[in-house]
Amino acid sequence: MSNQLGSLIIDKSIAIRDGIDTSIVDISDLSGIKFRLIAKENIIDYADGSLIYEAGAEVGIYNLNEVGKLKIDNLPMGHYELEEIETLPGLVLDNTKYDIVFTQEDTIKKVYTETREIENNTTVVEFSKTDITGKKELVGAKLTVTDENNEIIDSWVSSEKTHKIEGLVVGKEYTLTEEITPDEFVKATSIKFKIENTSDIQKVVMIDKQVTMTKTDIGGNEVEGAELKVVDKEENIVDSWISGKEDHKIKGLIEGETYTLYEDYAPDGFVISNSVEFTVTSDKETQKVQMIDKRLAIRKTDFITGNEVEGAELEITDKDGNVIDSWTSGKEEHFVTGLMEGETYTLTEKTCPYGYEVAESIEFTVSEDKETQRIEMKDMPILNTIKLIKMDSETKETIKAKFKFGIYEDPECTKLIREVKSDKKSGTVTFEDLRYGTYFIKELKAPKGYELSNEIIKVEINDTGVYANGELLEESESIYTFNFYNKQIPKINTGLDINYTLLISCIVISLAGIISGIVMIKRKKQKNN
């Protein structure tokens, strides 16, 4: 072998970055870092020309000492290649191939030395916790990184700055888990990531989405005052709140999990909605859950007119007889409080307004469609029939003739309710379907041969009976009757006892004779001509 030899010195250092957690980086002993030296060309012994190392042959594998030093002596002159083949956990393997060349300069120098100062970088992973906009860091999330054995590597609470970990092992897989989310955000799905062999900062971004809930009526307007809760599949309460003017951001949710939204109490006038089941999606978009409260209105109307009936005391009970809502009917329809979709209830009239009959109870089921549901209870008014019998004031006999009466609201008889003509066969006038109240009856047309009466009959109908001018009328077959008397028109007395029938007969015979004479005269004239 030639007397000239080479000596390779390796000085290894580790670059530690400022402001980064280095607690998992152990560089106290660098002896685990390993290099390989190969012949880049055929290495020839200059003394006899023999081949020492063929090009590509491995010269040797070497480990650094604890402090990162390595010296390889007695290398024949020639061209070599040095590469790092193994490094410490948490360090980036240096993939650089270093050319090492020993060239004989003269015959005097015996040892040629080449020195390589080689620096290793640590791996760095930057963790960012943001909302779906990605514009700024979310504060308050508790995050944990675990290794393949589920051992905790690092744990921290997110702040306005990103978090970096130095020294994760190249090639290994880790998991970033969100243990606690900031208020109003969904717990994100864990992220698995693998460490690459690079000096660049590797980034892992975990995005927290939101699930918002809107409580609206069928018109899309926010419903305030509803008591709401979200439970998980074990019926544990995850979040509860009272609806307001704005959407509610549901707390405590986890991506991929299924939950149920319940309405425990609906504001006055709204129906408690059926529960809504929803699954939190893993896409990074704001997810919306909507619950619509319908309304159920109940009208109390007059069976005949359809107008609202005021003063009825009403109540709604459930199938167990519990009173859900009670009220007194007014001019407007009533929106029921406390009902639930899909449930069956009974509407009962406890007391009816004066002058009406109590209506039968109504059983109904609250439909699940999101439309206003209406229930109408009709009250039948108590109706009475009054019959006026036309009587001759002297003979007390019924006057069977044509005549007419009017019934009025006021004693002056200016507010006509209706006119009624007589039944001339029976000599009566019938006033039907009269409600409780006070009426005034007046003759509008008298029978032929009778004087028109100026008497006004005051009729009162109430819960004690039917009265005409204060006198209680008797009822027969649901008809109340009273007599109305008329006087005949007086005859004119001339003092002559004339047989008008005979007189008229004579006049008729005389006229007939005159007409016959005229006809005969006309015929004679026609013959003479």
DSSP string, 321-370: --EEEEEE--SSPEEPSS-BTT-EEEEEEEEPPTTBPPPPPEEEE--SSS
Question: At residue 156, what is the residue type?
Answer: W
Check pLDDT > 90 for residue 1.
no
Check pLDDT > 80 for residue 519.
no
Nearest to 184 by CA among 136, 239, 129: 239
User: Among 45-54, 94-103, 347-356, 456-465, where is mean pLDDT lowest?
Assistant: 45-54
> Which residue is listed with tokens 């005159």?
514
Structure confidence at residue 107 as a pLDDT band (50, 70, 90): confident
Structure confidence at residue 65 as a pLDDT band (50, 70, 90): very high
Check pLDDT > 60 for residue 361.
yes
What pLDDT shows up at residue 496? Answer: 46
The CA distance from 33 to 491, in Å, is: 151
Question: At residue 39, what is the residue type?
Answer: A
DSSP secondary-structure letter at 55? T
Nearest to 103 by CA among 26, 179, 173, 41: 41
Mean pLDDT for the stretch of residues 100-121: 92
Q: Would strands 344-351 and 97-102 be described as parallel, antiparallel, or unpaired?
A: unpaired
Length of the chain, in residues: 529
In tens, the pLDDT along 120-132 reads 999 999 999 999 9
Average pLDDT, the chain: 92
What pLDDT shows up at residue 511? Answer: 62
What pLDDT shows up at residue 315? Answer: 97
Kind and range of the H or E element at 412? none
What the block records as the tokens of 251 is 């707390």
pLDDT over 70, % of the chain: 92
What pLDDT shows up at residue 46? Answer: 80
Structure confidence at residue 452 as a pLDDT band (50, 70, 90): very high
What pLDDT shows up at residue 509? Answer: 57
The CA distance from 489 to 449, in Å, is: 5
Mean pLDDT for the stretch of residues 166-177: 96
Check pLDDT > 50 for residue 529.
no
What pLDDT shows up at residue 505? Answer: 52
Structure confidence at residue 115 as a pLDDT band (50, 70, 90): very high
Mean pLDDT for the stretch of residues 39-44: 96
User: Among 36-45, 60-69, 257-266, 502-511, where is mean pLDDT lowest?
Assistant: 502-511
Domains of the chain: 5-121 (2.60.40.10), 124-208 (2.60.40.10), 211-293 (2.60.40.10), 297-379 (2.60.40.10), 384-486 (2.60.40.10)
> pTM higher than 0.75 for the full model?
no
- According to DSSP H, which parts of 446-499 are helical? none
The CA distance from 177 to 155, in Å, is: 9
Nearest to 162 by CA among 123, 200, 128, 201: 128
The residues, ordered by sequence, that sit 6+ positions from 29 with a Cβ below 8 Å of its Cβ are 66
What pLDDT shows up at residue 508? Answer: 47
Structure confidence at residue 504 as a pLDDT band (50, 70, 90): low
Mean pLDDT for the stretch of residues 182-200: 95
Check pLDDT > 50 for residue 503.
no
Check pLDDT > 80 for residue 378.
yes
Structure confidence at residue 358 as a pLDDT band (50, 70, 90): very high
What pLDDT shows up at residue 108? Answer: 84
Mean pLDDT for the stretch of residues 330-338: 95
